[in-house]
A = this chain, B = another copy of it.
């Protein structure tokens, strides 16, 4: 189909590089394995409703003021809760005034880029990482260098070589962006010795660490190493989110850092505040029920992860490489041979299934062309099983593999 001819009154006035209009919204597909969605069955509707009624009755007059009359860092009880929550990650001694609430963690990433990155600057990001972090860094003008990963997370030896090489050319990266505790998309947890080594490199080369702990509440095992921020508060810009531990439709992230950084992020946050009801209701609910809620969520996600892994083994057998995550809501996997997963997007969509193509989750897209990410928090277990079977059938029809699945030979449909 050719490009539509633009007849809008406004078209001649658009800036260069303006995007095309978005497609009208379509309902989510039957097998929705993308995005950071949560488990709908675990959303605590009654408790949230009660928390909302209580806090709104108590705080209503403050809604009349921008920022609830409480300043740009956000609703104080939510900041106090984040300070307590971070203490459980080993980050001690913070008060509410060391925390800024943001409209999702994405806003924190935007603010950090705005603060540090100019055109042509270099930033280091794990070779496979959150697409939003890669895209946002590039939008800010950064040259993104991928840092190699293994099953333990960031490879310190490779990072050291990279930093030394850049230093020899007079380049100091603006930051090292890392997701050390349930890495996105590989699901690894960086061991304590690597955390210490990473901090030592950051210190030696004068490169701030930008730590994203969006998934750290959702580890399978209860004993993850402390946050990087706990080990070297001065060097670390630490962000997190309630999208994964509570609900992504609530737009709530947070940041903590030395005031020399956080105070500047606050100066740049010119949005008139993060949504007050999202903040107030979350604070009211989480203050009393966070531990119990996250406990239920971890149990539910663990069951869905097991279902996802079982289904992948049953349908794909040994034809794929699966990284079993140490928490979180997704599985990172590689298809057989030289398959380019991008060629599967359209046939999968035609079968009612969407997945995240590895190239979108990689600093070097070609390096991840056979990789993909399957998110499992949203679909129920039956949908996971049926979806994986559907996906295996799509893969077989497009690539000839996997030929066997669920103890039978596949046939073209």
Contacts and interface: CB of A to CB of B under 8 A. Distances in A.
A411 interface: no
A200 to B, nearest CB: 14
A114 interface: yes
A272 interface: yes
A407 to B, nearest CB: 34
Contacts of A97: 24
B272 A21 contact: no
Given A115-B15, A275-B277, A21 B267 contact: yes
A66 B68 CA distance: 25
A16 interface: yes
A65 B49 CA distance: 18
Contact of A15 (B14, B46, B116, B235): B116
Contact of A72 (B25, B260, B281, B377): B25
A299 interface: no
A28 B71 CA distance: 9
Interface string A51-75: 0111011001111111111111100
A148 interface: no
Given A64-B378, A104-B272, A249-B62, A264 B40 contact: no
A268 interface: yes
B25 A258 contact: no
Interface stretch (A30-38, A301-309, A340-348): A30-38
A258 B10 contact: yes
A385 interface: no
Copies of this chain held together in the complex: 2
Given A24-B97, A106-B270, A260-B10, A63 B46 contact: no
A320 interface: no
Give the dominant DSSP class at A's interface.
loop
A292 B250 CA distance: 29
A57 B46 contact: yes
A390 interface: no
Interface residues of A, number: 102
A240 to B, nearest CB: 15
Given A71-B25, A103-B103, A172-B13, A276 B261 contact: no
Given A49-B53, A97-B24, A276-B249, A19 B264 contact: yes
A321 B11 CA distance: 43
A412 interface: no
Contact of A66 (B50, B118, B248): B248
Contact of A275 (B22, B174, B261, B274): B274
Nearest to A270: B106
A13 B247 contact: no
A12 interface: yes
A12 B21 CA distance: 40
A2 interface: no
Interface of A: 6, 8-16, 18-22, 24-25, 27-28, 35-46, 48-50, 52-54, 56-57, 60-73, 97, 103-104, 106-107, 114-118, 121, 172, 174-175, 206-208, 234-235, 237, 243, 247-251, 257-264, 266-268, 270-278, 281, 377-378
3 closest A-B pairs by beta carbon, nearest first, are A275-B275, A21-B263, A25-B71
10 contacts: A14-B115, A21-B266, A37-B69, A38-B63, A40-B65, A48-B60, A49-B53, A63-B249, A106-B270, A250-B277
Given A64-B249, A103-B272, 16 more contacts: A9-B206, A10-B208, A14-B264, A21-B264, A40-B62, A45-B60, A45-B61, A48-B63, A67-B249, A103-B271, A104-B271, A106-B270, A106-B271, A251-B272, A274-B275, A277-B281
